[in-house]
Amino acid sequence: MGSAIERRKFEQEMRKIDCSHLNITHHLANLESDEILKRALLAQTKCIVRLYMISAFDLSSRDNGSPSDPYLYLKCNNTVYNERDNYVLDDANPKFNKYYDFEGTFPGCSPIRIDVYDYDDIFGDDLIGTSILDLEDRYFSMEWQALEDKPIEYRQIYHSSTSLSQGVVKCWVEINPLTSPEEVKVWDISEKPPFELEVRICVFNAIEMKIMDWEGTSDVFFRGFFDSKEDV
């Protein structure tokens, strides 16, 4: 029952003897998952934890009359990344486009603490919000491990002063054995430079147009608009 082909063969045999309703394959798969989980919990595995920080949006302001000047402060086990020198000026929707590597041993790896701060050189920096990313929940999840491409997460950040969300960070995390770090693909998430495009719309004909002139015709023309909420 170690492979998908073996499971399908077993299910076919169960259908032949009219026992498919017993869901034996499902129960055996659960038992196999339990055994894999037990082995993983008993083993000490050193891993590289790679956190991709893409962006944040709707960050609460900690400045009077302007958006915050956000930067990241990340911590996992004994590794800290302080991006204070790379703060983003007056931006509630900053783009980070960077990844960060941490070493961790499973089981026993601490979660990643994601702090978003507001830079203030005069009065001191203020915490905008925090998100705690549990790594062991992911590492010991068969479903998460089975995903070839880990899902992008939209994580709310919170401050101890309120139960309301203080914004959202967009990120994803990968956990790979330390034995072969050179085999782990590094995704390029750097911001791509803008480039010019020409959009051409071809209108071939029109039907059932409303008659607007007294002589029973219309002098039809088309007008197009490009509506964007962001600067282009």
Q: What is the pLDDT of residues 88-126, one digit of tens each?
A: 999 999 999 999 999 999 999 999 999 999 999 888 999
SS3 category, 3:
coil
Within the chain, residue ranges assigned H as helices are 4-16, 24-42, 136-139, 142-146
Q: Is the pLDDT of residue 192 over 90?
A: no
| Predicted pLDDT of residue 160 | 97
| pLDDT, averaged across the chain | 85
Decide: helix, strand or coil at residue 175: strand
- Under the banding of pLDDT at 50, 70 and 90, the label for residue 22 is low
Give 183's contacts (C-beta < 8 A, 6+ positions apart): none
Task: Reply yes or no on whether the pLDDT at 1 is more than 50.
Answer: no
Whole-number Cα distances in Å, 204 to 88, 207, 211, 218: 47, 10, 19, 17
Q: What's the whole-number mean pLDDT along residues 182-201? A: 86
Residues 160-186: tens digit of each pLDDT:
999 999 999 999 999 998 876 677 889
User: What domains can you pick out in the chain, each with its CATH number?
Assistant: 4-42 (no CATH), 45-183 (2.60.40.150)
Spatial separation of the C-alpha atoms in residues 50 and 61, rounded to whole Å: 29
- This model's pTM is above 0.85: no
3-state helix, strand, coil in the chain (%, to 5): 20, 30, 50
With cut-offs at 50, 70 and 90, classify the pLDDT of residue 2.
very low
Q: Report residue 187's pLDDT band, with 50, 70 and 90 as the boundaries.
A: very high
Tell me how far apart the alpha carbons of residues 19 and 7 are, in angstroms, rounded to a whole number: 14
